[in-house]
Structure 1
Amino acid sequence: MATVLKTFTGESAIEALKKAKEECGESAMLVTTKQIQPKTLNKKPLYEILVSVEEDTPKPSQAQKKQAQINQIQKQIEAYTLGSTQSPRPASRFEQGGLDTIEEKPRDNNDILLNISQVAKEIGKVAGVSNELSEYKSPEYDKKIDEVAKEVSKLNQKISMIADMIWDDKAENRDDIIIPPEFSTIYKLAKQSGMKYEHLKGIMQATIENMPSSMKSNPVTVKRYFYSLLRNMLPCRSESFDPKKKRIMMLVGPTGVGKTTTLSKLAYKFAHGGSIRYKTGIITLDTYRLGAVEQLFQYAKIMNIPILDAIEPEDFRSALKSLSNCDVILIDTMGSSQYDREKLTRLNTFLKECGNQVDVNLVVSAGSKIDDLLEIYNNFSTLEIDTLIITKFDETKIFGNIFSLIYETGTPVSFFSTGQNVPDDIMEAKSDFLVSCVLDGFKGEDDGSSR
């Protein structure tokens, strides 16, 4: 057993001793301390210490230390996971020679999440590379760091899965859906989105059954596959059309969903907003709300678009004839409750007696509940709905209801109104955009193409 003497310096004896312990460990023994440079106006004091070190065992490398930390963290994760899924058997004093029983308090999800949070902090320490090590970089050192980084990445994924598995929707509350750990994150996002349970159940089962086995072990590929599956379930209608063929679009829907505002945005988009500019006209049947009519007439004047109003079906036929030279005719209608049979019947009369093929667009708000959306759709379906327009994306954080509406009715969606600004905040419907809103929330428009 050899004893080695080493010297360390610092501005104080404490600082020098700290350096000695960092390099030699707790086994370093202080031998002497002395000041080798006094403090002056221009110089700081300097102390030197002499320590003895017993070098009978090799000092572990930094990579070995990090691996030991990782192994310890893995043991902690396994212990926390075990504690979240197994309840300890009540111990009794009878077994210990007493009479009364003592029940051990089970660990709740908050305790487990707190423990996982602590583990995550430890991972951060393992993942970090100290400034002191940066000067010793070498190919072997870089290889060790890469190995540590991979282990940390695996642990992060494991922690995320554990956090989602002990989320408030435990296995016993999932009815007959068996969710593998790798699917727990996407299941949580989908359920929080507000889509109908039977849709969620069917989609999760289809994903689990049809996904290639090679993809199932990675939560990232699971989420990518799930995104793709949802996109393919959402029909979106392309809004490019033959300019030689006249297009008449009627916007219908309940009161307050933003039909007039959406029509103004569409008018600008068709007349001025695209690479192809269509000659556009407007007809309003909503003569009951004077404020809305005045606003629409003002918009039309600013955009230099002809606008007419109609009260009776014969007026509507006459207005369509007057605008026969237009490529696109947009029709604004009075808002009506889905329960107002009289107004719905009147609208149906306008459609049947106009003598033209009319594209009926049901306008609904993204903030409505799925049950209300389905009831609105069913009652307006007497008008033979061609497509959906979804408004008020900026007024909600839940979009699973919209997914369920489109998925259940099979009706394609044509436009999304993403805000209140006219003529902006309107976009052609894109399935990838809607899926992103469903699972990640609304972040504004994107530039991707429909899929």
Structure 2
Amino acid sequence: MIKRYSFTGSSTADALLKAKAELGDDFAIEVTKQIRAKTLNQDPLFEVVVCVEEEEQNPLSELNKIEQVNDIKRQIEAYTNLGKNRQTSQSTPKATPKEQWQDEDVSMSISRVANEIKNLASANDSEPSPLNIQPDYSAKMRDMEKKLDKLNDKLSLIADAVWEDKKEARGEIVIPPEFATIYKKAASSGMKSEHLKAIMEATIANMPSSMKNNPSAIERYFYFLLEKMLPSKKIMLSQKKQKIIMLIGPTGVGKTTTLSKLAYKYAYDGEIQYKTGVITLDSYRIGAVEQLAQYAQVMKMRMVEAINIEEFKSAIKAFSGYDVILVDTLGSSQYDTEKLTLLNEFISSVDADIEVNLVLSANTKIEDLLEIYDNFSFTNISSLIITKLDETRIFGNIFSLVYETGVPVSYFCLGQNVPDDIMEANSNFLVKCVLEGFDGSSK
């Protein structure tokens, strides 16, 4: 059997050394290619694919069965912990004798199923080695499948009992047990409770009845529904019509770093390289201006500082022959009316369309996000840029912001690296962040 392995390195030779260290000399080179060009702060990346002839392994389905057993064990442990948490919660009223009997009954059932699984797993461990499969192996596997089916049925009954017992904690939302998995994901995402209620009710009411008994189908439908609720926007550029893009937002959200990433993206990272200029209005933070100037110098890009409105007008005229003008603004608290007023004067002073992007940090709680949006909304915000996705694991706040304001997201910033850690927004990615979290794999 031919098996392929992939190795990467800063050069083809480097990747081959890694292949030799792991596989020895018994391999053949199949493909060599460059998968990332050299950038401002990163070396190039090359990939080498090699193939090795190995003895064919017999794919043994019993390994899948063992994983099924382990998966059921994990689920039971989760429900057991749920029951323990319920019993130890100080806020839970003392159970009546009937309620206490129900809890003990569920716990006993879980214990019995867990014990059966333990016995089944132990029996499986004592099965003959895959290298010495007995003639009655298929019959044993069928017997094991039947036992697993019975255990799954028992687990479903226990899960339904626990889910029904906890319904008061879900408030006014009536959630069938089949929706439990997706409800828990959404409830732990940090989105506003009223949004969660509205979405779950819409899902239950509108989902075809043929799908409602299938948790996998329910999850797919829920993902699809959330994607439709989250608008995203692609900023369109043209060499025929100039685009002025201004980044606004509170202090510390990463406007200057984001602008540097966009400058590189528009000027170098695409099929069309747009002539790009930078204007900074942030004369308050000397370090930020120096940082932006350094990036502009490395990218061989013109940058102009504008301290007042007249200088801003002159800078716009100086870039009249450019395809894109990126404008970095001073960071401002949503409560600083003086700076907000000055920002409005800058925007309204020029006779040109300015596309305003509000930059917000993903690790900001939803109440603050909505307040920031409201206080900056006088600028006629075109889209949102969400930064610092790598600094949080909860994204329901971003969902609720977009859902409530209806303003699309144009970019996500995934980290601090310039120019790499930025991506065009799409609804599918945000929904996955909301329900599954962000692990950095999309960088």
Q: What TM bracket, shorter-length normalisation? A: 0.7 to 0.9
Q: Determine if the alignment matches structure 1 residue 399 to structure 2 residue 395.
A: yes
The one-letter amino acid of 1:371's match is E
Q: Distance in 2 between matches of 1:220 and 1:105?
A: 29
Matches of residues 92-171 of structure 1 in structure 2 within 5 Å?
A: 107=104, 121-122=118-119, 124-125=121-122, 130-131=127-128, 135=132, 142=138, 145=141, 148-149=144-145, 152=148, 155=151, 159=155, 166=162, 170-171=166-167
TM-score of the pair, normalised by structure 1: 0.71
Structure 1 unaligned regions, length at least 5: 1-65, 92-102
User: How much has 1:90 moved relative to structure 2?
Assistant: 4.4
Q: Determine if the alignment matches structure 1 residue 386 to structure 2 residue 379.
A: no
CA contact (8 A) 2:106 2:161 kept: no
Q: Distance in 2 between matches of 1:161 and 1:383?
A: 55
Q: Determine if the alignment matches structure 1 residue 200 to structure 2 residue 199.
A: no
Q: 1:293 aligns with which of 289, 296, 307?
A: 289
Q: Percentage identity across aligned positions?
A: 56
Q: Which runs of 4+ in 1 moved over 6 A?
A: 108-116, 126-129
The one-letter amino acid of 2:404's match is E
Q: Distance in 1 between matches of 2:316 and 2:397?
A: 36
Q: Determine if the alignment matches structure 1 residue 415 to structure 2 residue 396.
A: no
Count of residue correspondences: 361
Matched with 2:317 is: 321
CA contact (8 A) 2:113 2:151 kept: no
The one-letter amino acid of 1:268's match is Y
**Deviation per residue, 1:120-154 (Å, 9 max, x gap):** 5456457768225874566x854763574476368
Q: Distance in 1 between matches of 2:381 and 2:345?
A: 15
Q: 2:254 aligns with which of 224, 240, 258?
A: 258
Q: Distance in 2 between matches of 1:160 and 1:105?
A: 16
CA contact (8 A) 1:164 1:185 kept: no
CA RMSD of aligned residues (A): 3.7
User: How much has 1:222 moved relative to structure 2?
Assistant: 1.2
User: How much has 1:167 moved relative to structure 2?
Assistant: 7.5
**Deviation per residue, 1:40-95 (Å, 9 max, x gap):** xxxxxxxxxxxxxxxxxxxxxxxxxx9xxx9xx9xxx9xx99x979x99749xxxx
Q: Distance in 2 between matches of 1:415 and 1:431?
A: 11
Q: Distance in 1 between matches of 2:216 and 2:145?
A: 17
Q: Determine if the alignment matches structure 1 residue 346 to structure 2 residue 374.
A: no
Q: Distance in 1 between matches of 2:149 and 2:236?
A: 45
User: How much has 1:182 moved relative to structure 2?
Assistant: 1.1
The one-letter amino acid of 1:251's match is L
The one-letter amino acid of 1:434's match is L
Matches of residues 13-24 of structure 1 in structure 2 within 5 Å?
A: none
Q: Distance in 1 between matches of 2:150 and 2:295?
A: 57
Q: Which of structures 1 and 2 has the bigger CA Rg?
A: 1
The one-letter amino acid of 1:319's match is A
Q: Distance in 2 between matches of 1:208 and 1:170?
A: 19
Secondary structure of the residue that 1:263 maps to in structure 2?
helix
CA contact (8 A) 1:361 1:385 kept: yes
Matches of residues 218-257 of structure 1 in structure 2 within 5 Å?
A: 218-257=214-253
Structure 2 unaligned regions, length at least 5: 1-64, 87-93
Change (3 A) 1:115 1:398: farther
TM-score of the pair, normalised by structure 2: 0.72
Change (3 A) 1:190 1:162: farther
User: How much has 1:288 moved relative to structure 2?
Assistant: 0.6
Matched with 1:11 is: none
The one-letter amino acid of 2:180's match is S
Matches of residues 4-19 of structure 1 in structure 2 within 5 Å?
A: none
Q: Distance in 1 between matches of 2:119 and 2:203?
A: 34
CA contact (8 A) 1:234 1:412 kept: yes
CA contact (8 A) 1:88 1:104 kept: no
CA contact (8 A) 2:248 2:255 kept: yes
Change (3 A) 1:192 1:105: closer
